[in-house]
Amino acid sequence: MHITFRRRSLFVAALAASLFTGGAALAQDNKNTVKVGISVGSAEQVFEVVKKVAAKDGLNVQVVVFNDYQLPNAALASGDLDANAFQHQPFLDNQNKARGFDIVPVGLTITAPLGFYSRKIKAIDQLPDGASVGIQNDPSNGNRALLLLQQAGLITLKPEAVKNNTATPLDVVTNPKKLKLVALDAAQLPRSLDDLSIAAINNDYAEKAGLSLNKDAVIKEAAKSPYANLIAVRRADKDKPWAKRLVAAYQSPEVKSFIETQFKGSLVPAF
């Protein structure tokens, strides 16, 4: 077959572009630096160990710390992050549905039992009638806090809401102490403790506020909680080698031992 010089040049250019694109895609699949969004607090300590383990495998983990639960998924969806590690599955499901994200889990990390804390009482049986009770205003953590109040015998929720994990203050059917439920942003709850009798505070925010689940919580979840946190990525990246390497680094014996030794039950490995 005879090919003119011009056609041959175009053919070579197209082949080179194809090889370059394929090579770039392969490099992206096998990249050795990943940017991971985490929440402030205990996760920062854990990821210092994760980074060291990952480095032995040639993976450079760069951490971006967030003070707001609403930001890490938006940053991941927009491409500013490669992965995040701050949320449990119910929270992720709600964010995907509400905000149109296509983010998926690739591995479990820790379970962080939720606690109710107080600056006014030392035990839950001291909670007065009409007390103001802070809960998170996002659907998944708000539901979680209400379930914990029901487990403590303070309220009763509609069975359907309990079954579907969709409880809101509107689903409270009995409230013998006439508690006033106050829904606030999760990050605001520690700062509102002076104005509330008790408040549900997620572990990372509790730790930042100097609160210990084992020493300070007046109600707390059992260590075996269904709310295991996870590493999440965009769906297109779920099978990428770097994602598997990141999960392997987190789920290593070194990280598991650190969590168990450092946090003594306030964080529990979920892997």
Q: What is the predicted pLDDT for the residue at 175? A: 98
pLDDT at 114 over 80: yes
* Neighbouring residues of 9: CB distance < 8 A, sequence distance ≥ 6: none
The domain made up of 115-220 is a member of CATH 3.40.190.10: yes
pLDDT at 28: 60
Which pLDDT value is given to residue 84? 98
Per-residue confidence at 69, pLDDT binned at 50, 70, 90? very high
**DSSP code at position 84:** E
Sign of CA dihedral 200, 206, 211, 215: positive
Other CB atoms within 10 A of residue 164 CB? 11
- Res 22 pLDDT > 90: no
Instruction: Tell me how far CA of residue 56 lies from CA of 59, 82, 85, 261, 264, in angstroms.
Output: 7, 20, 20, 22, 27
* DSSP E strands, the chain: 33-39, 60-66, 83-88, 103-111, 115-117, 132-136, 156-157, 172-174, 180-184, 198-201, 219-220, 228-234, 268-269
Instruction: Determine the angle formed by the axes of helices 241-250 and 42-56, rounding to 10 degrees.
Output: 120
Q: In CATH terms, are 32-113+226-269 and 115-220 the same topology?
A: yes
Angstrom distance (rounded) from CA 85 to CA 161: 27
User: What does the pLDDT read at residue 15?
Assistant: 44
What is the pLDDT of the chain when averaged over all its residues?
91
Determine the Cα–Cα distance for residues 72 and 82; give it in Å rounded to an integer: 11
What is the domain class of 32-113+226-269 according to CATH? alpha beta
Residue 39 is encoded by which pair of tokens?
A: 């929440």
For the chain, the domains span 32-113+226-269, 115-220
pLDDT band for 10, please (50, 70, 90 cuts): very low
pLDDT digits (tens, 9 = 90+) for 72-102: 999 999 999 999 999 999 999 999 999 999 9
Torsion of CA 139, 140, 146, 148, to 10 degrees: -170
Q: How far is CA 45 from CA 57, 204, 248, in A?
A: 20, 11, 18
| Residue 14, pLDDT above cutoff 50 | no
Q: Is it the case that residue 45 has pLDDT exceeding 70?
A: yes
Least confident of 123-137, 168-182, 215-229: 215-229
Q: Tell me which residue of 203, 208, 209 sits closest to 265, measured CA to CA.
A: 203
Query: Residue 95 corresponds to which tokens in the numbers above?
Result: 């964010």
Structure tokens given for 205: 């925010």
Work out the pLDDT band at 1, boundaries 50, 70, 90: very low
Q: Between 71 and 18, where is the model more confident?
A: 71
**Residue 16: band (very low, low, confident or very high) from pLDDT cuts 50, 70, 90:** very low
